[in-house]
Amino acid sequence: MEPKVGMKFVERTMKNNQDIVGVIFIMIIDQSKISTSNTSFAMIDEHSAIPSEQEILFTMHTVFRVVEIKQTAKNNRLWEVRLAITDDNDPQLAGLTDCIKEEVRGSTGWRRMGQLMLKVGHFNQAEELYNELLENASTDSDRAHIYHMLGYLKDDQRKYPEAAKFYEKSLEIKRKILPEDGASLASTYGNIGRVYNNMGEYSKAFEFYEKDLKITKISLPPNHPDLATSYNNIGSGYRKMGEYSNALEFYDKANKINHQSLPANHPHIASDYNNIGLVYKNMGEYSKALEFYDKANKIN
């Protein structure tokens, strides 16, 4: 669309409603910087109802970089956002894509889609997707996974009773199809324990934490990050119960494992430092608390 045409639309809308702010997007397309084999747009002015507007059709996967955001000189309620088209050859986009691939895993596209929705906080859409997948699930393994993810979703929403219900449905199926020391069982035990911990039902939480820890110790190497997660879960339980020396013991175990298995600036290590700092704060040892908070802050 021609800039003047777009500006007229925005200004007319703003004139009719004094309570809104206008934003006009200016897209910059440098064809020399994008791949000719993967063009993400097409000029459609000859197919348009209004050829003079020189319309462009973009594909759904088109990605733009925000170059500049500025307030217009003639109207303080109107902002311009300059966007530059990019493609797979852009190093930052490639890095972001690789990061998403690392964080959002799954054996099928639908599973990865569900995880991505959870990552960006689209809980309603994720729940709708998982319920649809559940209706069409053909194996116990699929059903167990979907119940687990629904539990994870409710856990993220802090709807703990619902989370526990879904996790326990997943656990019930897994116990039928997996050996009692299966690593997948451990994560479900840990998640159920964490939910009960958040609900203040500590005896139930520790019942599941202990099962998680027992399986994790058997099925994984001694420096595996999942073992650190198990120790952190138990540390959290002790902290909430006010048993700070026990909490420090398990948080320290988790921290040592993460130091062995992860880069020094990994977010999990920062989280460990925050956990330890919080315990010292609760104990009234503020200088020690600040020491660990400072370590976490340097990583973050």
State the CB neighbour count (10 A cutoff) for residue 270.
Answer: 19
pLDDT per residue as tens digits for the range 83-118: 988 876 777 777 777 776 666 676 677 778 888 888
What is the pTM (predicted TM-score) of this model?
A: 0.69
Alpha-carbon distance 139 to 145, whole Å? 10
β partners of residue 271: none
CB 94 within 8 A of CB 88: yes
**C-alpha distances out from residue 230 to 9, 57, 73, 103, Å:** 56, 50, 57, 20
Hey, what long-range contacts does 249-257 have (CB within 8 A, 24 or more apart)?
251/275, 251/276, 251/279, 252/276, 253/228, 254/228, 254/229, 255/228, 257/222, 257/223, 257/224, 257/225, 257/227, 257/228, 257/231
User: Do the domains 220-300 and 104-216 match in fold?
Assistant: yes
At 284 the pLDDT is 96
At 1 the pLDDT is 54
At 87 the pLDDT is 73
At 300 the pLDDT is 76
Please give the chain's pLDDT, 300 residues, in tens.
Answer: 566 777 788 888 888 888 888 898 888 887 776 665 566 777 787 787 777 767 788 777 788 889 999 998 888 888 999 998 887 677 777 777 777 666 667 667 777 888 888 888 899 999 999 999 999 998 999 999 999 999 999 999 999 999 999 999 999 999 999 988 888 899 999 999 999 999 999 999 999 999 999 999 999 999 999 999 999 999 999 999 999 999 999 999 999 999 999 998 899 999 999 999 999 999 999 999 999 999 999 997
User: Which pair of structure tokens corresponds to residue 24?
Assistant: 């006009």
At 291 the pLDDT is 96
Question: What is the chain's alpha carbon radius of gyration, rounded to the nearest angstrom?
Answer: 26
At 146 the pLDDT is 94
At 133 the pLDDT is 93
pLDDT per residue as tens digits for the range 200-220: 999 999 999 999 999 999 999
CB 183 within 8 A of CB 193: no
Query: Which CATH code, of 1.20.140.10, 1.25.40.10, 3.40.50.300, 3.40.50.720, is assigned to 220-300?
Result: 1.25.40.10
Indicate the domain borders of the chain: 3-90, 104-216, 220-300
For domain 104-216, the CATH architecture is: Alpha Horseshoe (1.25)
